[in-house]
């Protein structure tokens, strides 16, 4: 029976897997597989799973000031510092999101290094510590598929802030911030390894966990799940798609 002919709970199952875009309700209430893979790449053993989406996760949109919670002083200090170096705030920060007591600045990639240096050095900001960078893959966001997320901590002022930078899959380049936060060295390598984001200016951008010749980037949502034979103690375990089947 084809996907178009499948029926769940008396209802016809849509042919495509559910993709929930930011701020938009789902087009239909079903999702295939554990991770929503749209093709035969899902060999995790859950490829035949069909779930009804009753409460889709929608990410918060842009927030207008005043932000409250001390975030207004932070935003004002950042704007003043950027103007001091000749950069208007809208040229560096595309939007601000305040949600659940946390602030996220969506920074334009060509201004990332200037922003983090200002956040570190300005006495009224003083975010001395970057806790690393991690990647996120939103394949449904055309031209903004790959996101790099930075968590900063101000020990001086005892507060935190998050930076997020979006780049297109077709041009996954970001400036490295290792010159500002040297501890980001391995974190940038890991994000490159797993998501394919290229950090320009990194002193040695090589894979850190996967072999150098590994094809693809395993934490992207378009990466095949499973299907790789595992060898140990002279024995071989077949890939999941050869071990499990759905009737």
pLDDT in tens, 7-21: 444 555 554 444 444
- Identify which of 230, 220, 164 has the alpha carbon closest to the alpha carbon of residue 193: 220
* Residue 51: predicted pLDDT: 72
Higher-confidence residue of 182 and 50: namely: 182
Which residue would you say has higher pLDDT here, 45 or 160? 160
Confidence of residue 52 (pLDDT cuts 50, 70, 90): confident
What is the rounded average pLDDT of the residues 167-183? 97
pLDDT tens for residues 81-135?
999 999 999 999 999 999 999 999 999 999 999 999 999 999 999 999 999 999 9
Q: Helix or strand or coil: residue 118? A: helix
Q: State the Cα–Cα distance between residues 145 and 139, nearest whole angstrom.
A: 5
pLDDT at 79 over 90: yes
Q: What is the pLDDT of residue 40?
A: 54
Between CA 146 and CA 144 the distance in angstroms is 6
Query: What's the pLDDT at 2?
Result: 45
CB 13 within 8 A of CB 6: yes
Q: Percentage of residues in the chain with pLDDT exceeding 70? A: 70
Please list the helix, strand and coil fractions of the chain in percent, rounded to the nearest 5, in that order. 20, 25, 55
- Burial classification of residue 243, based on how many CB atoms lie within 10 Å of its CB (0-12 exposed, 13-18 middle, 19 or more buried): exposed
pLDDT band for position 245 (50/70/90)? low
> Looking up tokens 């849509």, which residue turns up?
14
> Which is more confidently placed, 220 or 43?
220
The pTM for the full model equals: 0.75
Residues 6+ apart with CB under 8 A from 101: 69
* DSSP secondary structure code for residue 18 in this structure: P
Kindly report, residue by residue over 189-211, the tens digit of the pLDDT: 999 999 999 999 999 999 999 88
Instruction: Give residues with Cβ within 8 angstroms of 76, minimum separation 6.
Output: none
Please name the residues in contact with 28: beta carbons below 8 A apart, sequence gap of 6 or more. 14, 18
- 162, β-bridge pairs: 104, 151
Confidence (pLDDT) at 131: 96
Q: Which of 64-68, 91-95, 97-101, 228-232 has the lowest mean pLDDT?
A: 228-232
Give all domains of the chain, ordered by start, each with its CATH number.
71-200 (3.30.460.80)
């Amino acid at each position: 029976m084809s996907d178009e002919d499948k029926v769940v709970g008396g209802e016809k199952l849509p042919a495509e897997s559910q993709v929930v875009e930011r701020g938009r309700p789902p087009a239909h209430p079903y999702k295939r597989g554990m991770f929503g893979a749209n093709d035969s790449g899902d060999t995790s053993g859950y490829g035949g799973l069909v779930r009804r989406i009753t409460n889709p996760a929608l990410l918060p949109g842009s927030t207008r000031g005043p932000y409250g919670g001390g975030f207004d002083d932070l935003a004002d200090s950042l704007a003043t510092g950027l103007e001091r170096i000749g950069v208007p705030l809208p040229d560096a920060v595309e939007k601000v999101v305040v949600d659940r007591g946390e602030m996220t600045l969506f920074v334009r990639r060509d201004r990332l290094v200037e922003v983090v240096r200002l956040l570190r050095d300005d006495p009224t900001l003083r975010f001395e510590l970057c806790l690393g960078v991690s990647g996120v893959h939103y394949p449904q966001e055309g031209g903004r598929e790959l996101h790099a997320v930075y968590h900063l901590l101000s020990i001086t002022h005892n507060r935190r802030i998050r930076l997020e930078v979006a780049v297109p899959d077709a041009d996954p380049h970001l400036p490295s911030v290792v010159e500002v936060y040297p501890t980001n060295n391995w974190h940038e390598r890991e994000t490159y390894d797993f998501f394919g984001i290229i950090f320009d200016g990194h002193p040695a951008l090589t894979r850190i966990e996967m072999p150098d010749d590994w094809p693809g980037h395993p934490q992207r949502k378009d990466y095949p799940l499973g299907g790789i034979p595992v060898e140990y103690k002279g024995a071989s375990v077949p890939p999941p798609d050869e071990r499990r089947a759905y009737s």
